[in-house]
Amino acid sequence: MNSKKRQTIKNRIILVTIAFTLCACDNHDFTFDEEKQTFYVYDMLGFYIEPDGEKELFYSYDIKLKEKKKEKGIDTLDLNNISSKYQVEACFPNIDTVINNPKRAVLVPNTRYRVLHMGMGRVYGIKYYHTDSAGRLRNEEKPEPNTK
């Protein structure tokens, strides 16, 4: 096989690989509105809210859509009024308790939480938040740059 044909085949393989990679990648981004206590999740698959650290002491939430959507889009998850379109399990590992489909997420005050949006395979988005003294979730402060 001459070098021109080899290069053509190599270019086609690279093109197919890039196309497959672009099609296989899902957007697992999400944002949080502190005032509304609402997550806006792009193409929700699995969504988890769990304390970062002492997991056996606090509830963690496993949230999924009850019915898979046909089209991609943004799902709204209000922590104070969880829609019936979600299947929610609130787990309290210390006493092996699971509460199915709670109407709201109860978060422990002054605690750091990790929020994960799981995708296919090992693809996921992860962000950290903390609760204030009233148990309302807040965006985690970004560290100040060191100016010294």
| Pairwise CA distance, residues 24 & 18, whole Å | 10
Rounded average pLDDT over 6-19: 64
**Above 50 in pLDDT, residue 21?**
no
Q: Which range has the worst mean pLDDT, 18-32, 35-49, 73-87, 93-107?
A: 18-32
User: Is-above-0.95 flag for pTM?
Assistant: no
Q: Left, alpha or beta for 91 (phi > 0: left; psi -120 to 50: alpha)?
A: beta
| Pairwise CA distance, residues 145 & 142, whole Å | 9
- Of the two residues 16 and 43, the one the predictor is more confident about is 43
